[in-house]
Amino acid sequence: MRRAICLVLVLVLAAIWTGGVSARVQSQPAATPTIFEVTPSHVYNDSPAEVTISGVGFVATPRVTLTLGDLPPIVLNQVSFLDFATLRVTVPTGTPEGVYLVTVYNPDGASTAPGPHTLTVVRPGDQSMSGWATTTPLPAEREAFAALAAGDSLFLIGGYNASTMADPTVFQAPITPGGELGAWQIQGRLTTARGSCVAVAAGQYLYVLGGGAAVGIPTERSIERARFNPDGTLGPWEVIGSLPEVRYGAAGAVVGNYLFIMDGIASWPGPSDTLWAQIAADGSLGPWSAASPTAGRSVAAAVFGSFIYVLNDDGLLERTTMKPDGSLEAWVGVAPTNVSHRGGGLAVLDGSLFVVGGYGGVYPNQYGLTSVERARINADGSLGAWSFAPSLRFSRSNVPTVAWNHRLYAIGDNTNIRQAGRSVEYASLRVSPLDRRLYMPLIRQAAP
């Protein structure tokens, strides 16, 4: 009898304890849903992709959305509730590329707070180019800096620090045979701290022109240069002249022995025209002359032979041809890209023009782009059809884009759309032996 009573008591206590645990487990979702991790963080959009969302406070069955800037949210139709801490969703084929904010809505309307947990949807693009890979990040937080490649090194020049003030530091990172970057090293300091400046390499010199002392403040018209040493490092910086007027946020290009400055801001709010000067044998600059103006305000430029291409701040592209005397033909528009790349990067690599990143949306809900497009350059400078290349791993706007030795480098993020931060990524073209024989670097290496 006592044994029977004890057995009943044990069963009752066990039921109470189990019920308490069950109640505690079921009570977990009462909290606001919170996301801890989204895995994988990057998926391709050429097939359905399964993604796991880990967190706490999920209630069966929640609604999950993907949001990109001011675009309408994408509601995921396939959501599996595993438990209050785990969801499994399917991202459908054809989801537009981009870096999406992931949000979970419980049936009672409670939702996850906006946070850093995102899902990047990547377009594989054509097979003539590898996917993007990250390499050594920038040595410091910086925006509105200039970047270029010369002598098998990547250079980062000027820019604004976290306090939005100009920084004069110049950094150099070696480019390894595999395309990765080595460690960044300080290579001197400009005579004048400046951001939003133009930097170009020509012959034995690196030139820096114009810019501003702080974000949004056009102040600089001076020109300085540093000589490339035989080992690829830089000599001391020296001022060698000035522009006819202040130029802030301009685009620059070198064609042969001529230097061009396109647009930029002399004073708010308007753009300026195009200027050009001849580069003498000793690296000095001749007098500046006005050239054919662009229709928009150029933010990036690239060169192929005697052709100059610019990307304007409205996402449209223009091109011109340099005449033998250094003057320019009238600028003409080119076919628009599939996606508007406002604030994108521009580069020419192996006979194709690439447009990289940029931003979409309307302020204050702008969002960075991961889109990359390319078009073959025809013999007359016109472009073939635009096609999508593999997407960036991170969204980037106003991004310095450098072409070097069959590779593209997308460097940092030059605005307050801070998804990319200090990261650097690169992609390689898959070229045939014939293409390698015909290849000619677009940024000349420093002369020995």
Domain boundary among 82, 97, 122: 122
Q: Judge if 283 and 410 occupy the same domain.
A: yes
Q: Which of 308, 358, 321 is nearest to 337 (CA)?
A: 358
Tell me, what's the pLDDT at 132? 92
Q: Mean pLDDT over all residues of the chain?
A: 86
Q: What percent of the chain has pLDDT over 70?
A: 86
Answer whether 307's CB lies under 8 Å from 313's CB: no
Q: Judge if 118 and 139 occupy the same domain.
A: no
Q: Judge if 433 and 322 occupy the same domain.
A: yes
- pLDDT tens by residue, 185-234: 999 999 999 999 999 999 999 999 999 999 888 899 999 999 999 999 99
The owner of tokens 């490092």 is 233
Q: Is residue 196 part of a domain?
A: yes
Q: What is the distance between the alpha carbons of residues 200 and 202, in angstroms, rounded to a whole number?
A: 7
- 3-state secondary structure at position 227: strand
Q: Is residue 110 part of a domain?
A: yes
Q: Judge if 341 and 256 occupy the same domain.
A: yes
Q: Which of 239, 134, 116, 229 is nearest to 179 (CA)?
A: 134
- pTM to 2 decimals? 0.84
Q: Is residue 10 part of a domain?
A: no
With a cut of 50, say whether residue 22 has pLDDT above it: no
Tell me, what's the pLDDT at 367? 84
Q: Label residue 321 by pLDDT band (50, 70, 90).
A: very high
Domain boundary among 94, 122, 150: 122
Burial class (CB in 10 A: 0-12, 13-18, 19+), 379: exposed
- pLDDT tens by residue, 384-442: 999 999 999 988 888 999 999 999 999 987 654 455 678 999 999 875 443 333 322 22
For the chain, the first-to-last Cα distance in angstroms comes to: 103
Q: What percent of the chain has pLDDT over 90?
A: 67
Domain CATH code at residue 249? 2.120.10.80
Domain boundary among 99, 122, 145: 122
What's the total number of domains in the chain?
2
